[in-house]
Amino acid sequence: MLRNERHVPSNQPPPPDPTDRRYGTDAATIRATRPLPEQADVVVVGAGIMGLALAWELSRLGPRRIVVIERSYLCSGASGRNGGGVRAQWSSETNVRLMKESIEICRSFATRMRINVWFRQGGYLFLARDESMVRTLEASVQLQRAHGLPTRLIDAAECKAIVPQLDTTRIIAGSYNPRDGVVFPWPFVWGYARACRRSGVEVHPFTEVTAIDTQGRRVTGVTTTRGRVRAPLVVLATGAWTPQLARTVGLELPNRPHRHEICSTESLAPFLRPLVADLSTGLYVSQSMRGELVGGISNPDVPEGLDTRSSMRFLGLYARALVRTMPVLAGVRVLRQWAGCYDVTPDGAPIVGRVDELDGLVLCCGFVGHGFMMAPVVGRKLARHLVLGEERELFELWNLRRYREGRWLGESMILG
């Protein structure tokens, strides 16, 4: 509805305008404003980056009633808590190919969605400290180059030329793709949410799906804290919460939530162009356009669970690894630390596609620590798969049934 079309009684304040920029995103994201519809063509559960990207792409494929249901505020899940890293440096053909396309979508996102997402292509620099890591990087560089990417295997001196602050005494080699980059995750989520609303998708925050409704072997809709929505197609884009929700229909999933911590420092004058990553420790750090260093590290002691608390142990691990990599950062102050949940699968690859056991149920989860960068391309391909039947091969590869069939996938460049 356009603002000047709305009838407002003169003695009452106007209802919030969903396109009003004063709310940073829009009023409807800060409270549940409208009743739920009784019927939809598709219900997407979860308004993280995956759910919103999928809903928007579905809306572009023809008229249908699409409803996105989110139990909290937008950005409350991993999509509002991540490092914003976007890269095509992967070791598996699938990930390289998909991320090449995703980066292209990121490049035009701001113009198409009319929102600044602070996308900066400063590259990713992976460091190798031992021979086995060099071999991993070597193989993946070869694969990426075969896909037309400009990634190069470089020696320690060239690593230092790209980031002069590096201590390269124990670094043997690195791999560098200048087209990788970082985004600011929040406006990316808001951009999709706004585009969804502009194209008629209903996004309902603060509404929890408490059950997936079924009749025999068919999904019939969802029950929520604000009523029921009937729909023949229900997509679970619920990140680390997916196993919990799937269990309500007796579906046991192999992915598990694991806390992943991250922090940002005070602002420094711009000095760090690429995101620097070290696969041996899981350390990654980039400099935001406001000058803060944003980064994290693997913490092998974290037990599985939906836990988003911060810890001193993380700060110690991160600080030691960061200062070992760039000693000049020893005196930098951390201003903020937070945590989110990785949605970890046994083989590090996502679980996306239709579920054999229940007609009409679709999973879109298991993106470990790299789902944000994949959402633009996965949203697009999954929408085309569901509506047009395209991309069968990809969603066969990523289907849940691969675990039953013993078809595990591999990826050796996972951070965190």
Ligand X SMILES: Cc1cc2nc3c(=O)[nH]c(=O)nc-3n(C[C@H](O)[C@H](O)[C@H](O)COP(=O)(O)OP(=O)(O)OC[C@H]3O[C@@H](n4cnc5c(N)ncnc54)[C@H](O)[C@@H]3O)c2cc1C
Q: One symbol per residue from 303 to 342: x for binding ligand X (CB under 6 A), - otherwise; what is it?
A: -------------------------------------xxx
Question: What is the nearest approach in angstroms of ligand X to the Cβ of residue 278?
Answer: 14
Pick from 239, 257, 348, 360: which binds ligand X (CB under 6 A)? 239
Closer CB to ligand X, residue 156 or residue 315?
A: 315
**Smallest separation, CB 38 to ligand X (Å):** 18
Tokens for 354?
């239709």
- The CA distances from residue 413 to 136, 284, 294, in Å, are 8, 12, 20
Query: Judged by CB under 6 A, how many residues of this single chain contact ligand X?
Result: 40
Interface residue with ligand X, options 28, 40, 50, 378 (CB under 6 A): 50
Q: Which amino acid is at 15?
A: P
Q: Where are the alpha helices (DSSP H) in 247-399?
A: 312-325, 371-388, 392-397
Distances (CA, A) of 222 to 66, 98, 144, 413: 13, 31, 42, 37
Binding mask 87-126 vs ligand X (x if CB under 6 A, - otherwise)? ----------------------------------------
Tokens 């679980």 appear where? 351
Task: Work out whether 202 is an interface residue with ligand X (CB under 6 A).
Answer: no
Closest CA to 414 of 87, 41, 27, 43: 87
Q: Are 116 and 24 in contact (CB under 8 A)?
A: no
In Å, the largest CA–CA distance within the chain is: 74
Q: Does 46 bind ligand X (CB under 6 A)?
A: yes
Among 140, 177, 238, 325, indicate the residue that binds ligand X (CB under 6 A): 238
Instruction: Convert residues 351-390 into a mask of x (bound to ligand X by CB under 6 A) and - (unbound).
Output: ----------------x-xxxxx-----------------
Give the pairing type, strands 181-182 and 351-354.
Answer: unpaired
The residues, any chain, with a CB within 8 Å of residue 267's CB and separated by 6 or more, are 290, 291, 292
Residue 315 CA: distances (Å) to CA of 156, 211, 240, 306, 337: 27, 38, 23, 20, 8
Nearest to 229 by CA among 34, 37, 35: 37
CB of 415 to ligand X, least distance (A): 8
Does residue number 28 form part of the binding site for ligand X (CB under 6 A)? no
Give the Cα separation of 255 and 31 in Å (integer).
Answer: 30
Q: Which stretch binds ligand X (CB under 6 A): 17-25, 35-43, 49-57, 190-198?
A: 49-57
Residue 245 in the binding site for ligand X (CB under 6 A): yes
Compute the least distance from the CB of residue 376 to ligand X, in Å: 10
Shortest CB 119 distance to ligand X, Å: 13
Of 76, 121, 168, 310, which one interacts with ligand X (CB under 6 A)?
Answer: 76
H or E stretch covering 96: helix 93-113
| Length in residues, the chain | 416
- Least distance to ligand X, CB of residue 366, Å: 9
Restricting to residues 283-302, name those near ligand X by CB under 6 A.
Answer: 296
Residue selected from 262, 378, 382, 413 as contacting ligand X according to rule CB under 6 A: 262
Of 384, 377, 342, 415, whose CA–CA distance to 99 is shortest?
Answer: 377
69 binds ligand X (CB under 6 A): yes
- In 3D space, the residue among 282, 236, 275, 234 whose CA is nearest the CA of residue 373 turns out to be 275
Minimum CB separation from ligand X for residue 13, in Å? 29
Q: Are 152 and 174 in contact (CB under 8 A)?
A: no
Give the shortest CB-53-to-ligand X separation in angstroms: 8
Q: Name the residues that contact ligand X, by CB under 6 A.
A: 45-51, 69-72, 76-79, 81-85, 208-209, 237-241, 245, 260, 262, 296, 340-342, 367, 369-373
